[in-house]
Amino acid sequence: MKTESLCHDMLSDSCIAERPRYFPRQLITPADMTLEQEYFRNKLRRHNRLLHGWGVVCGALVCPMPKANGDGLEPWKVIVRPGYILGPYGDEIMIDCDHTLDLRTMCLTGVTGDHCIEPADPWCSEVFVKRESGPLYVAVKYKEIMARPVRVQPVGCGCDETQCEYSRVCDGYEVCVLTECPESHKTPPKLDLEELAKGSIPQCPPCTSEPWVVLAKVEVDENGMIKKIDNCECRRMVISFGHFWWKCTADLLKVTNVAPMEVNIGDKGKQLTISGSSFKEGLSVDLGQGITVSDITVKADKVAIIINVSTEANPGPHTLTVINPDCSTATWDKEIIVVGKTFPSTPQLSKEEPTTKKRRGRAEEKSPEPE
């Protein structure tokens, strides 16, 4: 698609929705690869133009240019600041550097991503045009810039000199000076939020015949001194949600009481009642290692749970944690105490008993056996 011309008529042009299909042993040509690129580029252009519209999204201010010594302003010159623009055909225009524009020239060309250095050709001087009295309009349009030429190998024997082809296409733009504000920038529609979602089915917006997006209206005197710069009168803006954001609100989950606060190792089907606020259906409860929750019943500001305490649960304090389906979490500021079972201690032999046994053993060994 050539962006220098009008955008496609969606109802009559069928090739804009065609992409190549690859299969094994296929011979792929440059036309196939280009068609695939154009398919996705056209898709993005339609999305931008029909859903977002076109115009200036942000930035791209036109400002007067001060003199290098700080003494006043340069005549005939303005500075175009960085900004982001959607062109009338859906192309993205990203001005990422400050550009100095002389209002007596026709246009200047920029390349997105290029070094922010104003080009200067020592062999050529700028060509000025005569400006009549009246307002001037600084405008920008999308432009493809060919870059990185490479040599192409010859098809034949190689006797002829090899040719060059550009191997890259860069997104660029052209900033020019217009003498009139385009009709597409003069009458903005009324923005009524209450009526935005009402009315009949809208027609698809037509494609404009002008590639320009106006940035500012500039008035100069006969000597080129800047009298007025208006960045709003003929500027077409696009509604953007880039600066819009909001904080979600949710009821604060809170645990105020748990009863009972003691359980025993080996308890089966033990019920605990959790009191608090903002409990949601589908919540989960965790009491740490060795304690499993088999049933949860949520009723307004109370939650009844059935727990099973394993014989391998660690005795002592356990933290109770409640987790809502939206992952909001709250813990009980006190702790559930797991009480372990006590077993009787094994009786120990006194110190005298083994001594007595030893003595008796010796006495028995010395006593003579009866005849």
Cα separation, 208 vs 226, whole angstroms: 31
DSSP characters over 259-294:
E--EEETT--SEEEEEEEE---TT-EEE--TTEEEE
Q: What is the DSSP letter of 133?
A: S
C-alpha span between 357 and 334 (Å, rounded): 56
The answer to whether 4 touches 172, Cβ cutoff 8 Å, is: no
Q: What is the pTM of this model?
A: 0.73
Is the Cβ–Cβ distance between 331 and 320 less than 8 Å? yes
- One-letter amino acid at 285 equals V
Which one is predicted more confidently, 87 or 352? 87
Q: How far is CA 136 from the centre of its chain?
A: 38
DSSP assignment of 193-242:
TTTTT-SSPPPPPPPPS---EEEEEEEE-TT--EEEEESSTTPPB----T
Q: Which helix or strand (DSSP H or E) is residue 30 part of?
A: helix 30-47
- 257-310 pLDDT per residue, tens: 999 999 999 999 999 999 999 999 999 999 999 999 999 999 989 999 999 999
> Using one digit for the tens of pLDDT, what is the confidence trace for 327-352?
999 998 888 999 986 444 555 555 55
Whether the per-residue pLDDT at 15 is higher than 60: the answer is no
Q: How confident is the model at residue 106 (pLDDT cuts 50, 70, 90)?
A: confident
pLDDT for residue 356: 47
Q: What is 254-339's CATH topology?
A: Immunoglobulin-like (2.60.40)
Q: Using only the alpha carbons of the chain, give its radius of gyration.
A: 42
Examine the pLDDT at 5 and tell me if it is beyond 70.
no
- What SS3 class is residue 98? coil
**DSSP 8-class letter at 49:** I
* Rounded alpha-carbon distances, angstroms, from residue 270 to 265, 320, 323, 359: 11, 15, 20, 57
Q: Give the start-to-end residue ranges of the domains of the chain.
A: 13-20+28-52, 56-116+126-186+208-241, 254-339
Tell me the per-residue pLDDT of 144-155, one tens digit each, with 9 for 90 and over: 999 999 988 776
Res. 7 pLDDT band, cuts 50 70 90: low
| Predicted confidence band of residue 213 (pLDDT cuts 50, 70, 90) | very high
Question: For the ranges 93-97, 136-140, 154-158, which has the lowest average pLDDT?
Answer: 154-158
Task: Give the pLDDT band of residue 199 (cuts 50, 70, 90).
Answer: confident
